[in-house]
Every structure is written in structure tokens, then in C-alpha cells.
Chains A and B, each alone.
Chain A
Amino acid sequence: DTGVSQNPRHKITKRGQNVTFRCDPISEHNRLYWYRQTLGQGPEFLTYFQNEAQLEKSRLLSDRFSAERPKGSFSTLEIQRTEQGDSAMYLCASSPSWETQYFGPGTRLLVL
């Protein structure tokens, strides 16, 4: 069990550019979650996958955001036409059941 990993750990981009983050969950965890955390706040739910199916999306997830989990393993979160307001920590978590979620270290995004 190597834990949830996320790449990259840090990303600096210019406004208007597209960015993609990757999350590798703990193996055999069928549930995967994405959260966004801004400075001084708790994480906010973005979306949830069970295996390869995206079962819930927050209204925070605008049309510029898309998440995928092909084959029910790793997941990607893409932000198109980034805005300064997208600057945040993007956290991924996985779980084998409906209770405890195991979080990765996060990807810190800065949009200039």
C-alpha cells in the first residue's frame, strides 16, 4: 500500500492555459474523489467516481472542468482556460468503502 499519489505536486500556469492533474489511488480502492481547497478553508467536494463511472459532480465543477477515470484506475482532472480564481490545492482521495477516505498530498495550482 503506497498511498494515494498525485502529479504534479506544483503547477504554475498563465491565465487561459489548460492544465491536467493526475491521481493514482490506492490499488483496489473503487472510489475516487476530487476536492479543491483554497487558503484558510477546508476542502470542497468536486466530484466522485465509483470505478470508471462519475456518479456525482458539484456545482463548483464548471464547464471548464472535466474529470475522467478510464478503466477505473487512475484519474485525471483537467481545467481548460484557467482563471486566477482556479488557484488552489486540488486534492484526490480514494476509499474501499463508504467511510474513510485516504487523501493524496495534493497538487498546488497557481494561475498567473
Chain B
Amino acid sequence: SQQGEEDPQALSIQEGENATMNCSYKTSINNLQWYRQNSGRGLVHLILIRSNEREKHSGRLRVTLDTSKKSSSLLITASRAADTASYFCATDPPGGGGNKLTFGTGTQLKVEL
């Protein structure tokens, strides 16, 4: 079963704009991760935020985590056509040891020239 849900399901923006996608989850977590998947291919790890962190940056990526609301957001600034992909959040429950990531349903991002 899917732990989380991403919102929106699909997002279309122009190159240079910012893209924000949200993830909600159901149970307590040890950490939350974001992955990118290009069409029909494997997943690429983007960023990990621990349950005791509220915000994290990596290049053009900014992730926030609100454990009280059981939600996270991923912001991609100054988007590029190459950012076109599906984005998934994945949660690692306490005691899970990172062995059993539970993924959301994903947001399909399309960045148009």
C-alpha cells in the first residue's frame, strides 16, 4: 500500500519557473526522501530530510518537513526542461532501518521551453 500521496498529481510549468510539489503521509517517520524518475527508468535519489529537521537545501532543491501535519514539500527553483520527470516522496518508519521505504503516488512534472 502507498504510504503517501503527492499533490498535485501533475504539474506543467514554463522553464525558469519554480515548481512546488507536496507529500502527505500517514504514520510517524524516521526520515523522508525524495526521488526522481525519468520516464520508464529507475529512480534517482534527490534529498533526505530527517524527522528532527525542518528544512534542507541541495542545489536548486529545497525540502521542508512538518511532522505535526505529516507533510513535506519539494521546491525546485529555476526549473529546466531536464527536470521533466516524476517525483516521489518515500518514508522510512521508525525502527525501519531504511529497509522498507514506502513511496507515494508521485507528481508528474513537465517543464516546457
A residues apposed to B, CB below 8 Å: 4, 31, 33, 40-45, 48, 55-56, 58, 89, 91, 93, 95, 97-106, 108
Contact = CB atoms under 8 A, between A and B. Distances in A.
A31 B43 contact: no
Interface string B86-101: 0010100000011111
Contacts, number: 64
A6 to B, nearest CB: 8
17 contacts: A4-B42, A40-B105, A41-B2, A41-B106, A42-B104, A42-B106, A43-B103, A44-B1, A44-B2, A56-B99, A56-B100, A58-B100, A98-B99, A99-B98, A100-B33, A100-B45, A100-B48
B interface bracket (residues with beta carbon within 8 Å of A):
20 to 34
A95 B98 contact: yes
B91 to A, nearest CB: 11
B59 interface: no
A42 B103 contact: yes
Given A42-B104, A42-B106, A55 B99 contact: yes
A70 to B, nearest CB: 20
A101 B98 CA distance: 9
B100 A101 contact: no
Given A42-B90, A44-B1, A95-B98, 16 more contacts: A4-B42, A33-B99, A42-B88, A42-B103, A42-B105, A45-B101, A55-B99, A97-B98, A98-B97, A99-B48, A100-B33, A102-B45, A103-B42, A103-B43, A103-B44, A106-B40
B103 A44 contact: yes
B20 interface: no
Contacts of A91: 42-43
Contact of A108 (B1, B40, B101, B105): B40
Most A Cβ at <10 Å: residue of B1, B2, B48, B100 = B100
